[in-house]
Amino acid sequence: MSKQLLKGNEAFAEAAIRAGCEGFFGYPITPSTEFLEYMAKRMPELGRAFVQAESEVAAINMVYGAACTGKRVMTASSSPGISLMMEGISYLAGTEVPAVIVNVMRGGPGLGNIAPAQGDYYQMVKGGGHGDYFPIVLAPASVQEAINIMGVAFDLADKYRAVVHMIVDGNMGQMMEPAELPPMRELPKKPPNWAVTGAKGRKPNFLSSIYIDPVEQEVTNLRLLKRWLEIEKNEVRFAESGLEDAEIAVVGFGTSGRVASSAIRTAREEGIKVGLLRPITLAPFPEKRLEEISKQVRRILVVEMNSGMMLDDVNRVVQGRVPVEFYGRMGGITPLPDEILDEIRRVATNRMPVNGDARQQWITRLEKIVGGQA
């Protein structure tokens, strides 16, 4: 099949269907609504389950119930909607049933706005729901990459009986790009052996997230933790370019990583030795590769559409080996290539250590920009 011009949200939805998604439960919210709309039309055509629930809370609990049958199920929403789902997401994790949850992120906190943002990094990457659990977090940067990663998302969810978040921002959901869809996968003939399917002719399965006895809960927590360590070992994914001879490494994910790649291209033409590390899995974080990079480059610039959340993870890995600088836009503003180019130029000419806190210094620079716009 050749490339078609596809709208982000619709392409992600079709990719999920082709990866074997048999149940979608959701509630509309901009900028993710086309995902649900597409599912509303397509799923019944294929005899698969689609429910527009009465709320996000209901939707995630439908996902929970359906996931217990061993079918591939999912939901998609945007920031405030994902917050409403958090209790259910923790239950999914505690019950060790797989599900894929797409977050098309928008400006926040609160009702915020519908413009693209990456301010849900902590919520998504660090868990968000209560209790000890570890979601896998995927952050593609193009329509094609998101299509490809959707199949991976379902595979990982099944393999580790885990919650998998795919996070993109409103730009990715709304934009159109040429992309190729994979062929339709065949649905599995048999449910996994843990699924609840009626127990005809076999011992009943029991799925729950309740462990009244703390001893049993701790055994479960340990199982989840060991499974996570396996995931950290096996499932790290990232993209990089121009790092071979780089003196400066830019680290950015999703749209901000992709905008940075435009700035890097121009900076390279100006002779600045700069490259890009773009984590595709935010959890597990590409720690090993970042550590190697931090031993090679002279400076690191983290670019995000939030207040410096991944910055904390980068600092944790880099451990002060080289100065880590930060540039971010918040509240639904997407940084443009010229802003990041200016930052790269600034970082390239600055051979002094970062005197004080990188985030504090970024605030000073940002206030000039924001002040100029007001």
Partner 1 sequence: MTETSIIISGFGGQGTLFSGQVLAYAALDNGKEVTWIPSYGPEMRGGTAHCTVIISDEPIGSPLVRNPDVAVVLNLPSLDKYEYTVKADGVLIVNASLINRTIERENIRNIYIPANEIAEEIGLSRMANMVMLGGMTYMKPVLTLEMIKEALSEHIPARHRRTLPMNFTAMERGYAFAQEAFEKVTA
CA angle 213-214-218, nearest 5°? Answer: 125
For the bound state, the minimum distance from the C-beta of residue 258 to partner 1, rounded and expressed in Å, comes to 5
Taking every pair of Cα atoms in the chain, the longest distance, rounded to a whole number of angstroms, is: 72
Give CA 206 to chain center in angstroms. Answer: 31
- 163-169 and 136-138: which strand pairing? parallel
For the bound state, the minimum distance from the C-beta of residue 305 to partner 1, rounded and expressed in Å, comes to 12
- 238-241 and 324-328: which strand pairing? unpaired
Based on CB atoms, which residue is closest to partner 1, 69 or 266? Answer: 266
**Residue found under tokens 């060991």:** 226
For the bound state, the minimum distance from the C-beta of residue 215 to partner 1, rounded and expressed in Å, comes to 51
Residue 280's nearest CA partner among 127, 74, 142 is: 142
Q: Are 213 and 226 in contact (CB under 8 A)?
A: no
Based on CB atoms, which residue is closest to partner 1, 144 or 294? Answer: 144
For the bound state, the minimum distance from the C-beta of residue 265 to partner 1, rounded and expressed in Å, comes to 7
Based on CB atoms, which residue is closest to partner 1, 47 or 371? Answer: 371
Q: Where are the beta strands (DSSP E) in the chain?
A: 4-7, 23-26, 49-52, 73-77, 99-105, 136-138, 163-169, 176-179, 238-241, 248-251, 274-279, 281-283, 299-304, 324-328
Based on CB atoms, which residue is closest to partner 1, 237 or 265? Answer: 265
For the bound state, the minimum distance from the C-beta of residue 236 to partner 1, rounded and expressed in Å, comes to 23
Q: Which residues make Cβ contacts (< 8 Å) with residue 342, sequence separation at least 6?
A: none
Based on CB atoms, which residue is closest to partner 1, 235 or 342? Answer: 342
Q: Is 212 helix (H, G, I), strand (E, B) or coil?
A: coil
Question: Binding residues for partner 1, per CB under 8 A?
Answer: 3-5, 30-31, 114-115, 170-171, 174-178, 258-265, 269, 334, 336-338
Asked if omega into 31 is within 30° of 0 (cis), the reply is yes
For the bound state, the minimum distance from the C-beta of residue 179 to partner 1, rounded and expressed in Å, comes to 10
Q: Which residues make Cβ contacts (< 8 Å) with residue 99, sequence separation at least 6?
A: 63, 64, 67, 73, 74, 75, 92, 157, 163, 164
For the bound state, the minimum distance from the C-beta of residue 31 to partner 1, rounded and expressed in Å, comes to 6
For the bound state, the minimum distance from the C-beta of residue 176 to partner 1, rounded and expressed in Å, comes to 4
For the bound state, the minimum distance from the C-beta of residue 264 to partner 1, rounded and expressed in Å, comes to 8
Residue 80's nearest CA partner among 31, 23, 153 is: 31
Based on CB atoms, which residue is closest to partner 1, 56 or 339? Answer: 339
Based on CB atoms, which residue is closest to partner 1, 57 or 366? Answer: 366
Based on CB atoms, which residue is closest to partner 1, 78 or 294? Answer: 78
Q: Rounded distance, CA 175 to CA 5, Å? A: 10
Q: Rounded distance, CA 321 to CA 309, Å? A: 19
Based on CB atoms, which residue is closest to partner 1, 148 or 171? Answer: 171
